[in-house]
Structures are given as C-alpha cells and as structure tokens.
Amino acid sequence: MSACQDQEELLTLHAAGALEPADEARVREHLASCAACRSEFESTARMLDAVALPPVSPAMRERMEALPQQTLSTWRRTQVRKAFRARTAGALLAAAAAVLVVVGPSLRSPRTPSAVPQPVSASVGSDTQADFEEWAAADPLGDAIDPASFDEDWGDEDDADDSASELFLDMDGESL
C-alpha cells in the first residue's frame, strides 16, 4: 500500500522533525488510523537516520564558534601586511629618488674641458699704467685685416666723412 497523497509531504517533514506543533498533532492522529502512512513514515525515518550527521561534539562547537573571529583576525593580519609592504615600497622609492637627486648630476658623462685655464702669472694690483697702455694699444685684428681687400665702390668719401663726423659729436651737438 502507498501512503495517502495529501499526507506524503507532511510525513516526510514529520520524519525530519520540521513540522509546526499544530501540523505535527494532525499527522500523529492520521498515523494512528492509517497503516500505509505509518509504514511510509517509518521507512522515511529509518532512511533519514541512516544519512544523518552525527551530533556536533563540544570541541567542534567551540571551533565553529571561534571561526568568525579567526577569519576576521586572519583578514586583518593580511591587510596590515599589505599596508606595511606598501609603506615600505613607498619609503624605498622615496629614498631612491632622493639618492638620484643628490648623486644624479655626478653620474652624467664626464666632460673634458676644451681649454685648460692657465694660472695668472702676475698678481692683481701689480699692473702699472704702462702695462695697461701697452695692452690697450695692441691691435689684435690689425694683422688680419688687409686694407687692399676693401672695394673702393663703397660710396663717396665725402659721405664717409659726414657719417664719421656724426659719430663724434659731444653732448651739445658740436663736432669734436
């Protein structure tokens, strides 16, 4: 015989212990009067007992209760390590940048000076008026310019005299 169709779901829930008290009382009354449903209930209860997990031990219960706290502390430890690594990396990069700023200019390729400066043989203040006049009279370009190389078509000589005289005017506009 099979169990009553309207009671099959309730019998399974009753075997699992998942019924409300009012429904459980109704199912017990039905089991007392129906042998097919009683047989179905007993076979379902045996099957659920066979596959049921053993009760939780006190040690396992403590471990399960401590699990959220352990998980949180592990997560915090990981976050602290990441932050420490980031700070350390930032500090190392800042130190490397400071070293490059300080040492960088000396790392450039060495430049050889084009002319080695010669030490000054005469001391400052020993120049006399005669030395200065000799220096001022020297014409460093005098040998390099050949007057014959100038073209004579530069203009009239009178125009040249006028322009030259304009250059040598004193503050009052009179010629020197």
Give residue 125's pLDDT: 52
pTM of the model: 0.34
At 102-147, the pLDDT tens digits run 888 787 766 666 665 665 555 555 578 888 788 777 776 665 566 6
The radius of gyration of the chain's CA atoms, rounded to the nearest angstrom, is 57
At 54-98, the pLDDT tens digits run 888 999 999 999 999 999 999 999 999 999 999 999 999 999 999
Predicted confidence (pLDDT) at residue 168 exceeds the cutoff of 90: no
Give residue 83's pLDDT: 95
* Mean pLDDT value of segment 37-52: 90
Element (H, E) at 162: helix 157-167
Q: How far apart are CA 175 and CA 132, in angstroms?
A: 29
Look at the chain and count its residues: 176
Predicted confidence (pLDDT) at residue 7 exceeds the cutoff of 60: yes
Is the dihedral angle over the CA atoms 164, 168, 174, 176 positive or is it negative?
negative
